[in-house]
């Protein structure tokens, strides 16, 4: 008990320390003259972007924020950009840091308008600056859609990307058009739309609510701030007033599994987050396989859907998006992800699989940061990885059932 209290106090202190430090960092930057325009000064002439938009018949623009080495473009980012181009988007490639001349030229040759900015505020900071940039030059007046996205997901090539392009294009072009499109939603703590992919119609990005939110947003280099004051606040204060379309809703996942010609419970259990393995107790002798799947889906929906459903979305919904933090946050093992990627061959190349796995290995697991508490806080890693899936009512029930089942097995073996 004393250890838990001490640990909780340390965690609270470090969160407070990180909050103070990132605010101080922001105010020092402002005092030194940093603003949305001079943070974007490393860019081509504005006339080039105007020309790209004028040539785009569907008047769609994607503000893609990336962060990688200055002399290298991950294949993942190239695939992502190609998908968006196939959906008729003009790409503004915003890199939080410098890029060398060759990399800039490669992106330009793909049709991107490349901006290198000082990394203040991470992805939300990049979007804030870019949206201000569009308004300053009145480019938002000639646009119909603005997409905010980043490279926090891998974008898988092959069939899954083809499926995404069709699904996204269908949502944008439907007769009963939504006001905005999101990739997924998160029901954990506060309902909100995941900020790494949000596409706004003119009705949204020209609204007073939207403009006020971005004018007031303080671009701190702080993950917790970006989540609570960024994506959650935007969902609650702005987006709840508009009609949404979610491209990969969790409620469609069950039927998509049922529609597979062959599926079995062992396969589904293998795709569960590693700390939720006890949800296999959903599949008991007295229930049908369909009932077991529904029970499991009901329990999983209580969490961050982009995390717990990650492997299901790829295999059954044919989504190309795979979160880059799945191993670092303690959700899945590298083995689980590698086994899934092998199933997608030859649709996904060996070289891309190696790029993905190299990233997960370098990121480590939640336990790789046990002796680096400040790094842990900065990167949003659960303070105790063993507890992050023990706070939801449905999961507790199944955990208790699983524990009883294991106790009975041990008792029977000892009796024999």
Structure-block tokens of residue 256:
């998509």
Whose tokens are 């005092």? That residue is 31
Please list, in sequence order, all residues whose beta carbon lies within 8 angstroms of the beta carbon of residue 351, skipping any fewer than 6 positions away.
75
Q: 350 or 391, which is more confident?
A: 350
pLDDT at 394: 67
User: pLDDT by residue (tens digit) across 25-82?
Assistant: 999 999 999 999 999 999 999 999 999 999 999 999 999 999 999 999 999 999 999 9
Please list, in sequence order, all residues whose beta carbon lies within 8 angstroms of the beta carbon of residue 322, skipping any fewer than 6 positions away.
153, 154, 156, 310, 314, 337, 356
User: pLDDT by residue (tens digit) across 129-159?
Assistant: 999 999 999 999 999 999 999 999 999 999 9
Q: What is the mean pLDDT of residues 377-382?
A: 86
User: pLDDT by residue (tens digit) across 211-264?
Assistant: 999 999 999 999 999 999 999 999 999 999 999 999 999 899 888 888 887 677
User: pLDDT by residue (tens digit) across 77-115?
Assistant: 999 999 999 999 999 999 999 999 999 999 999 999 999
Please list, in sequence order, all residues whose beta carbon lies within 8 angstroms of the beta carbon of residue 26, skipping any fewer than 6 positions away.
120, 121, 218, 219, 220, 221
Task: Label residue 288 by pLDDT band (50, 70, 90).
Answer: confident
CATH 3.90.550.10: which residues of the chain? Answer: 38-246
Report the chain's mean pLDDT, rounded to a whole number.
89
Q: What CATH topology corresponds to 38-246?
A: Spore Coat Polysaccharide Biosynthesis Protein SpsA; Chain A (3.90.550)
pLDDT at 208: 96
Q: Looking at the whole model, is its pTM more than 0.95?
A: no
């Amino acid at each position: 008990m004393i250890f838990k209290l001490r640990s909780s106090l340390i965690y609270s202190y470090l969160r407070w320390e990180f909050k103070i430090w990132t605010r101080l960092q922001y105010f020092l930057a402002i005092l030194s003259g940093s603003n949305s325009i001079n943070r974007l000064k490393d860019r081509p002439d504005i006339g080039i972007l105007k020309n790209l938009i004028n040539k785009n018949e569907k008047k769609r623009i994607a503000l893609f924020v990336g962060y990688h080495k200055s002399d290298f473009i991950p294949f993942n980012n190239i695939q992502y950009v190609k998908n968006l181009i196939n959906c008729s988007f003009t790409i503004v490639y915003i890199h939080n840091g410098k890029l060398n001349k060759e990399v800039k030229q490669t992106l330009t040759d793909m049709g991107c308008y490349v901006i290198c900015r000082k990394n203040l505020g991470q992805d939300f900071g990049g979007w804030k600056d870019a949206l201000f940039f569009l308004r300053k030059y009145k480019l938002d007046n000639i646009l119909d859609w603005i997409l905010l996205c980043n490279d926090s997901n891998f974008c898988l090539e092959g069939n899954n990307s083809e499926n995404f392009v069709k699904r996204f294009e269908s949502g944008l072009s439907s007769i009963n058009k939504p006001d905005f499109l999101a990739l997924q939603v998160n029901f954990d703590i506060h309902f909100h739309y995941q900020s790494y992919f949000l596409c706004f119609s003119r009705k949204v990005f020209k609204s007073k609510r939207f403009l006020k939110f971005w004018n007031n947003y303080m671009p701190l280099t702080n993950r917790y701030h970006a989540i609570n004051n960024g994506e959650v606040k935007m969902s609650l204060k702005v987006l709840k007033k508009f009609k949404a379309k979610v491209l990969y809703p969790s409620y469609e996942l069950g039927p998509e599994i049922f529609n597979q010609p062959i599926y079995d419970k062992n396969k589904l259990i293998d795709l569960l987050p590693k700390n939720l393995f006890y949800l296999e107790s959903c599949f008991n002798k007295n229930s049908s396989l369909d009932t077991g799947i529904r029970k499991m889906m009901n329990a999983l929906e209580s969490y961050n859907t982009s995390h717990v459903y990650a492997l299901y979305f790829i295999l059954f919904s044919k989504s190309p998006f795979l979160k880059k933090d799945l191993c670092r946050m303690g959700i899945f093992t590298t083995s689980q992800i590698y086994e899934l990627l092998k199933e997608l061959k030859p649709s996904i190349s060996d070289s891309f699989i190696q790029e993905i796995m190299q990233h997960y290995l370098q990121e480590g697991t939640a336990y790789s940061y046990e002796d680096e508490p400040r790094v842990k806080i900065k990167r949003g890693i659960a303070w105790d990885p063993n507890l992050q899936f023990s706070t939801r009512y449905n999961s507790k029930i199944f955990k208790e059932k699983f524990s009883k089942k294991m106790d009975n097995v041990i008792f029977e073996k000892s009796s024999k």
